[in-house]
Amino acid sequence: MHISDGILSTPILIGGACVAAAGVAQGLRKIEDNDIPKTALLTAAFFVASLVHVRIGPTSAHLILNGMAGILLGWAAFPALLIGLLFQALLFGHGGISVLGVNTVAIAVPAVGAGLMFRRMVHRETSPRRIALMAGLGAGLCIAATALFSAAVLALSGRAWLRTAWVLLVAHVFVMAGEAVLAYFIAAYLLRVRPALLLGRPLAA
């Protein structure tokens, strides 16, 4: 999901920057001191996971982990993912600086949405298996939303990018399935060792 500089139109870039700035501001307001280590850890996990690219035609696919970031961090996923994208662009040339806002919106808005959906679904849930399934569902839908948004902004950038948009959507069907399974096992593990980290509360017996 690293759209490069020079592809998107100026209005899309400005709109993405404004939405990203608002999301980051909200995330910084919501984050608490004891959440900072968890936020840093997930930023690092996103940074590393997104560096491993599999080339598929004119685009590429890679793990994103934004679903789990949203589930574990909530609004704090915005600044966490922004920092990861910034360092990827500066150090490895993945994505660009002018499109940083759009790329952040593409992964952080679905992440926050996945987190809100997960919290609402598990509000009174006590079954570890069902909670883990909900985490997997949220992570998978998060990837689908990210792919749809990225494909849409590419399609809006001109007919030359329509094929790339379609390839991106198809490629991320596999990422969606992979991240759903991965999120399931991560959630199942956390529910065994530190359920409060995932749920914000102890798991009822």
**pLDDT for the residue numbered 152:** 85
> Is 2 among the domain residues?
no
- Residue in the block written with tokens 């890679």: 62
- Domain with 73, as residue range(s), is 10-199
**pLDDT for the residue numbered 54:** 62
- Residue in the block written with tokens 């690092």: 44
> Is 132 among the domain residues?
yes
- Total of domains in the chain: 1
Alpha-carbon gap, residue 133 to 152, rounded angstroms: 29
SS3 state of residue 61 = strand
> Is 192 among the domain residues?
yes
Sign of CA pseudo-dihedral 179, 83, 61, 167: positive
Contact predicate 39/83, CB 8 Å: no
CATH number at residue 153: 1.10.1760.20
Task: Record the tokens describing residue 129, joined without a space.
Answer: 């298996």
Contact predicate 64/46, CB 8 Å: yes
**pLDDT for the residue numbered 32:** 87
Burial code (b: 16+ CB inside 10 Å, e: under 16) for 67-78 equals bbbbbbbbbbbb
> Is 4 among the domain residues?
no
> Is 125 among the domain residues?
yes
> Is 112 among the domain residues?
yes
**pLDDT for the residue numbered 26:** 97
Q: Which of 98, 74, 73 is nearest to 85 (CA)?
A: 98
> Is 184 among the domain residues?
yes
> Is 3 among the domain residues?
no
Mean pLDDT, consecutive 10-residue segments, the chain of 205 residues?
A: 81 95 96 89 88 61 87 96 93 88 95 95 91 96 90 76 72 86 95 91 73
Other CB atoms within a 10 A radius of the CB of residue 45 amount to 16
